[in-house]
Amino acid sequence: MTTDTHEVGGDLAYQRHAIVNVIYYGRPGVGDRSWVLIDAGVMGSKAAIVKAAEKRFGAGARPSAIVLTHGHFDHVGAVEDLAREWQVPVWAHPLEHPYLNGSATYPLPDPSVGGGLVARLSPLFPRAPVDVSDHLQSLPEDGSVPPMPGWRWIHTPGHSVGQVALWRDADRTLIAADAFVTTAQESAYAVVVQESELHGPPMYFTVDWDAARQSVEALADLEPELAITGHGRPLHGSALREALHTLARDFDIVAVPKQGHYVEEPAKAEDGSAYRGS
Protein backbone atom coordinates (compact mmCIF):
# COMPACT_ATOMS: atom_id res chain seq x y z
CA MET A 1 0.00 0.00 0.00
CA THR A 2 1.51 3.31 -1.09
CA THR A 3 2.40 6.04 1.39
CA ASP A 4 2.14 8.72 -1.31
CA THR A 5 -0.66 11.27 -1.21
CA HIS A 6 -2.18 13.28 -4.04
CA GLU A 7 -2.58 16.97 -3.29
CA VAL A 8 -5.84 18.51 -4.47
CA GLY A 9 -5.51 21.89 -2.80
CA GLY A 10 -3.15 23.68 -0.48
CA ASP A 11 -4.60 21.99 2.59
CA LEU A 12 -6.18 18.82 1.18
CA ALA A 13 -4.68 15.59 -0.05
CA TYR A 14 -5.97 12.08 -0.51
CA GLN A 15 -4.43 8.62 -0.46
CA ARG A 16 -5.93 5.64 -2.21
CA HIS A 17 -6.21 2.51 -0.07
CA ALA A 18 -7.11 -0.42 -2.34
CA ILE A 19 -10.76 0.48 -3.03
CA VAL A 20 -11.22 3.67 -1.00
CA ASN A 21 -9.76 7.11 -0.38
CA VAL A 22 -8.40 8.49 2.89
CA ILE A 23 -8.25 12.29 3.13
CA TYR A 24 -5.74 14.49 4.95
CA TYR A 25 -6.72 18.05 5.90
CA GLY A 26 -3.92 20.43 6.80
CA ARG A 27 -1.06 22.19 5.08
CA PRO A 28 2.20 20.29 4.54
CA GLY A 29 4.61 20.60 7.45
CA VAL A 30 2.11 21.91 10.01
CA GLY A 31 3.30 19.43 12.61
CA ASP A 32 1.74 17.69 15.58
CA ARG A 33 -2.00 18.11 16.38
CA SER A 34 -2.48 20.58 13.51
CA TRP A 35 -4.24 18.43 10.91
CA VAL A 36 -7.27 16.14 10.58
CA LEU A 37 -7.69 12.63 9.20
CA ILE A 38 -10.94 12.06 7.34
CA ASP A 39 -11.88 8.37 7.27
CA ALA A 40 -9.49 5.53 8.07
CA GLY A 41 -9.26 3.18 5.11
CA VAL A 42 -9.50 -0.59 4.98
CA MET A 43 -8.21 -3.05 7.53
CA GLY A 44 -4.42 -3.04 7.56
CA SER A 45 -4.17 0.64 6.57
CA LYS A 46 -2.64 1.90 9.81
CA ALA A 47 1.02 1.84 8.79
CA ALA A 48 0.36 3.48 5.44
CA ILE A 49 -1.72 6.23 7.06
CA VAL A 50 0.90 6.95 9.74
CA LYS A 51 3.74 7.03 7.21
CA ALA A 52 1.80 9.27 4.83
CA ALA A 53 0.90 11.62 7.68
CA GLU A 54 4.52 11.90 8.82
CA LYS A 55 5.66 12.44 5.24
CA ARG A 56 3.13 15.25 4.76
CA PHE A 57 3.01 16.89 8.18
CA GLY A 58 6.29 16.00 9.90
CA ALA A 59 7.88 13.28 11.99
CA GLY A 60 5.59 12.09 14.77
CA ALA A 61 2.78 14.38 13.62
CA ARG A 62 -0.53 13.26 15.11
CA PRO A 63 -3.89 14.71 14.06
CA SER A 64 -6.10 16.85 16.24
CA ALA A 65 -9.02 14.57 15.37
CA ILE A 66 -10.41 11.88 13.10
CA VAL A 67 -13.64 12.71 11.27
CA LEU A 68 -15.63 9.77 9.92
CA THR A 69 -18.04 10.31 7.04
CA HIS A 70 -19.66 6.96 7.90
CA GLY A 71 -18.74 3.59 9.36
CA HIS A 72 -18.57 1.10 6.50
CA PHE A 73 -15.63 -1.28 6.73
CA ASP A 74 -13.60 0.48 4.05
CA HIS A 75 -13.79 3.81 5.88
CA VAL A 76 -12.99 2.63 9.43
CA GLY A 77 -10.46 -0.15 8.90
CA ALA A 78 -7.71 1.40 11.03
CA VAL A 79 -9.76 3.74 13.21
CA GLU A 80 -9.59 1.70 16.43
CA ASP A 81 -5.80 1.38 16.30
CA LEU A 82 -5.26 5.00 15.26
CA ALA A 83 -7.61 6.50 17.85
CA ARG A 84 -5.92 4.48 20.58
CA GLU A 85 -2.36 5.26 19.44
CA TRP A 86 -2.97 8.93 18.75
CA GLN A 87 -5.45 9.51 21.62
CA VAL A 88 -7.71 11.70 19.50
CA PRO A 89 -11.46 12.32 19.35
CA VAL A 90 -13.41 10.58 16.60
CA TRP A 91 -16.24 12.74 15.25
CA ALA A 92 -19.29 11.23 13.50
CA HIS A 93 -23.01 11.79 13.05
CA PRO A 94 -25.07 10.45 15.99
CA LEU A 95 -27.06 8.09 13.73
CA GLU A 96 -23.77 6.40 12.82
CA HIS A 97 -22.70 5.85 16.43
CA PRO A 98 -24.21 2.35 16.83
CA TYR A 99 -21.78 1.14 14.12
CA LEU A 100 -18.89 2.85 15.90
CA ASN A 101 -19.51 1.91 19.54
CA GLY A 102 -19.88 -1.83 19.00
CA SER A 103 -23.65 -2.01 19.47
CA ALA A 104 -24.96 -2.66 15.93
CA THR A 105 -23.96 -4.00 12.54
CA TYR A 106 -24.99 -2.68 9.16
CA PRO A 107 -27.86 -4.20 7.20
CA LEU A 108 -26.85 -7.06 4.93
CA PRO A 109 -25.35 -5.98 1.60
CA ASP A 110 -27.28 -6.73 -1.58
CA PRO A 111 -25.08 -8.64 -4.07
CA SER A 112 -27.83 -8.67 -6.71
CA VAL A 113 -27.37 -5.01 -7.63
CA GLY A 114 -24.90 -3.44 -10.00
CA GLY A 115 -23.91 -6.55 -11.91
CA GLY A 116 -20.18 -6.31 -11.10
CA LEU A 117 -17.70 -8.53 -9.31
CA VAL A 118 -17.34 -6.21 -6.32
CA ALA A 119 -21.10 -6.27 -5.80
CA ARG A 120 -21.17 -10.07 -5.98
CA LEU A 121 -18.39 -10.28 -3.41
CA SER A 122 -20.07 -7.83 -1.02
CA PRO A 123 -21.50 -10.53 1.31
CA LEU A 124 -17.87 -11.32 2.19
CA PHE A 125 -17.09 -7.76 3.29
CA PRO A 126 -16.78 -7.15 7.05
CA ARG A 127 -19.91 -5.82 8.76
CA ALA A 128 -18.99 -6.14 12.41
CA PRO A 129 -18.98 -2.77 14.19
CA VAL A 130 -15.84 -1.12 15.40
CA ASP A 131 -15.71 0.20 18.95
CA VAL A 132 -14.19 3.63 19.47
CA SER A 133 -16.67 4.56 22.16
CA ASP A 134 -13.91 5.95 24.40
CA HIS A 135 -13.09 8.52 21.72
CA LEU A 136 -16.43 8.99 19.97
CA GLN A 137 -17.96 12.47 19.71
CA SER A 138 -21.18 13.65 18.03
CA LEU A 139 -20.93 16.24 15.30
CA PRO A 140 -22.67 19.36 16.64
CA GLU A 141 -26.26 20.09 15.68
CA ASP A 142 -25.27 23.52 14.36
CA GLY A 143 -23.45 21.86 11.44
CA SER A 144 -19.96 22.91 12.48
CA VAL A 145 -16.99 20.55 12.34
CA PRO A 146 -15.02 21.42 15.50
CA PRO A 147 -11.58 20.34 14.28
CA MET A 148 -12.09 22.02 10.88
CA PRO A 149 -12.93 25.75 11.18
CA GLY A 150 -14.69 27.08 8.09
CA TRP A 151 -16.23 23.70 7.24
CA ARG A 152 -19.71 22.39 7.94
CA TRP A 153 -21.16 18.91 7.79
CA ILE A 154 -24.20 18.02 5.69
CA HIS A 155 -26.29 14.97 6.50
CA THR A 156 -26.35 12.79 3.36
CA PRO A 157 -28.23 9.60 4.27
CA GLY A 158 -29.10 6.82 1.86
CA HIS A 159 -25.83 4.94 1.53
CA SER A 160 -25.77 4.86 5.31
CA VAL A 161 -28.25 6.43 7.71
CA GLY A 162 -25.64 8.66 9.36
CA GLN A 163 -23.40 9.49 6.43
CA VAL A 164 -22.17 13.08 6.18
CA ALA A 165 -20.45 15.16 3.54
CA LEU A 166 -18.11 18.03 4.46
CA TRP A 167 -18.44 21.43 2.79
CA ARG A 168 -16.34 24.59 2.78
CA ASP A 169 -18.22 27.64 1.52
CA ALA A 170 -15.11 29.77 1.00
CA ASP A 171 -13.91 27.84 -2.05
CA ARG A 172 -16.91 25.52 -2.61
CA THR A 173 -14.94 22.40 -1.77
CA LEU A 174 -16.92 19.23 -1.11
CA ILE A 175 -15.82 16.01 0.57
CA ALA A 176 -18.72 13.90 -0.64
CA ALA A 177 -17.98 10.54 1.03
CA ASP A 178 -20.10 7.92 -0.79
CA ALA A 179 -23.16 10.08 -1.50
CA PHE A 180 -21.83 9.94 -5.04
CA VAL A 181 -18.56 8.52 -6.35
CA THR A 182 -16.41 8.96 -9.43
CA THR A 183 -15.97 5.32 -10.37
CA ALA A 184 -18.36 2.43 -10.92
CA GLN A 185 -17.61 0.88 -7.54
CA GLU A 186 -19.56 -2.32 -8.30
CA SER A 187 -17.08 -3.19 -11.08
CA ALA A 188 -13.64 -4.55 -10.20
CA TYR A 189 -12.33 -3.32 -13.57
CA ALA A 190 -13.54 0.23 -12.95
CA VAL A 191 -12.09 0.19 -9.43
CA VAL A 192 -8.65 -0.75 -10.82
CA VAL A 193 -8.67 1.60 -13.83
CA GLN A 194 -10.16 4.58 -11.90
CA GLU A 195 -11.46 6.33 -15.01
CA SER A 196 -13.30 9.36 -13.70
CA GLU A 197 -17.06 9.43 -14.24
CA LEU A 198 -19.85 10.32 -11.87
CA HIS A 199 -21.98 7.56 -10.32
CA GLY A 200 -24.48 7.24 -7.53
CA PRO A 201 -23.48 5.66 -4.22
CA PRO A 202 -22.10 2.11 -4.27
CA MET A 203 -25.24 0.05 -4.81
CA TYR A 204 -24.49 -3.01 -2.71
CA PHE A 205 -24.36 -1.06 0.59
CA THR A 206 -26.99 1.62 -0.13
CA VAL A 207 -30.03 0.98 2.04
CA ASP A 208 -32.43 3.86 1.25
CA TRP A 209 -32.64 5.03 -2.35
CA ASP A 210 -35.12 7.85 -1.79
CA ALA A 211 -32.80 9.35 0.81
CA ALA A 212 -29.80 8.79 -1.46
CA ARG A 213 -31.51 10.75 -4.25
CA GLN A 214 -32.32 13.63 -1.92
CA SER A 215 -28.72 13.70 -0.73
CA VAL A 216 -27.39 14.00 -4.29
CA GLU A 217 -29.91 16.74 -5.04
CA ALA A 218 -28.78 18.68 -1.97
CA LEU A 219 -25.11 18.40 -2.94
CA ALA A 220 -25.81 19.41 -6.54
CA ASP A 221 -27.54 22.55 -5.25
CA LEU A 222 -24.25 23.60 -3.62
CA GLU A 223 -22.62 24.04 -7.07
CA PRO A 224 -19.24 22.68 -5.88
CA GLU A 225 -15.99 23.68 -7.53
CA LEU A 226 -14.10 20.63 -6.25
CA ALA A 227 -15.36 17.26 -5.04
CA ILE A 228 -13.32 14.54 -3.38
CA THR A 229 -15.29 11.32 -3.11
CA GLY A 230 -14.83 8.14 -1.13
CA HIS A 231 -14.06 6.17 -4.27
CA GLY A 232 -12.42 7.39 -7.46
CA ARG A 233 -10.52 10.53 -8.40
CA PRO A 234 -11.50 14.11 -7.54
CA LEU A 235 -13.47 16.15 -10.05
CA HIS A 236 -13.66 19.93 -10.38
CA GLY A 237 -15.09 22.81 -12.31
CA SER A 238 -17.99 22.98 -14.71
CA ALA A 239 -17.60 19.32 -15.69
CA LEU A 240 -18.24 18.32 -12.07
CA ARG A 241 -21.27 20.57 -11.71
CA GLU A 242 -22.84 19.48 -14.99
CA ALA A 243 -22.34 15.80 -14.19
CA LEU A 244 -23.72 16.24 -10.68
CA HIS A 245 -26.85 18.01 -11.88
CA THR A 246 -27.36 15.28 -14.50
CA LEU A 247 -27.00 12.62 -11.82
CA ALA A 248 -29.52 14.40 -9.59
CA ARG A 249 -32.00 14.81 -12.46
CA ASP A 250 -31.69 11.24 -13.74
CA PHE A 251 -30.97 9.53 -10.43
CA ASP A 252 -33.82 7.02 -10.62
CA ILE A 253 -32.70 5.95 -14.10
CA VAL A 254 -28.91 5.84 -13.78
CA ALA A 255 -28.26 5.21 -10.08
CA VAL A 256 -31.12 3.20 -8.61
CA PRO A 257 -30.90 -0.53 -9.44
CA LYS A 258 -33.83 -2.03 -11.34
CA GLN A 259 -34.30 -4.53 -8.55
CA GLY A 260 -32.91 -5.09 -5.11
CA HIS A 261 -33.95 -5.66 -1.54
CA TYR A 262 -33.54 -2.04 -0.43
CA VAL A 263 -35.30 -0.67 -3.50
CA GLU A 264 -38.48 -2.22 -2.16
CA GLU A 265 -37.75 -2.22 1.58
CA PRO A 266 -35.37 0.55 2.67
CA ALA A 267 -33.55 0.21 5.97
CA LYS A 268 -34.11 3.21 8.20
CA ALA A 269 -32.91 4.57 11.52
CA GLU A 270 -36.43 5.65 12.49
CA ASP A 271 -37.82 2.11 12.78
CA GLY A 272 -34.53 0.46 13.76
CA SER A 273 -34.27 -1.58 10.56
CA ALA A 274 -30.87 -0.02 9.78
CA TYR A 275 -29.37 -1.51 12.93
CA ARG A 276 -28.77 -5.22 13.40
CA GLY A 277 -27.63 -6.68 16.71
CA SER A 278 -23.87 -7.08 16.86
| pTM of the shown model | 0.93
User: At 161, which amino acid appears?
Assistant: V
Q: Could you tell me whether strands 104-105 and 90-92 are parallel, antiparallel, or unpaired per DSSP bridges?
A: unpaired
Q: Dump pLDDT digits (tens) for 166-205.
A: 999 999 999 999 999 998 644 432 333 344 589 999 998 9
In 129-160, which positions are buried (b, 16+ CB within 10 angstroms) versus exposed (e)? bbbbeebbbebeeeeebebbeebbbbbbbbbb
Q: What is the pLDDT of residue 114?
A: 64
Rounded Cα distance, 129 and 221, in Å: 33
The per-residue pLDDT for range 228-275, each reduced to its tens digit, is: 999 999 999 999 999 999 999 999 999 999 988 999 999 999 999 999
Provide mean pLDDT across the span 61-69.
98
- In the predicted model, what is the mean pLDDT of the chain? 91
Cβ–Cβ under 8 Å, residues 40 and 27:
no
DSSP 8-state assignment for residue 181: B
Q: Radius of gyration over alpha carbons of the chain, in Å?
A: 17
Helical packing angle, 237-249 and 209-221, nearest 10°:
150
Q: Coil, strand or helix: which one is 23?
A: strand
- pLDDT value of residue 117: 62
Using CA atoms, how far apart are residues 123 and 126, in angstroms rounded to an integer?
A: 8
Confidence at residue 123, expressed as pLDDT on a 0 to 100 scale: 62
pLDDT of residue 89: 98
The answer to whether the CB of 65 falls within 8 A of the CB of 74 is no
For residue 67, give the nearest of 160, 150, 139 by alpha carbon. Answer: 139
* pLDDT above 90 (res 74): yes
Alpha-carbon gap, residue 65 to 175, rounded angstroms: 16
How far is Cα 239 from Cα 258, in angstroms, rounded to an integer?
Answer: 27
E-assigned strand segments in the chain: 6-9, 12-17, 20-25, 36-38, 65-67, 90-92, 104-105, 136-138, 151-155, 164-168, 173-177, 226-229, 235-236, 276-277
Amino acid 127: pLDDT = 75
Q: Determine whether domain 5-264 maps to CATH 3.60.15.10.
A: yes
Q: Per-domain residue ranges for the chain?
A: 5-264
pLDDT reported for residue 125: 76
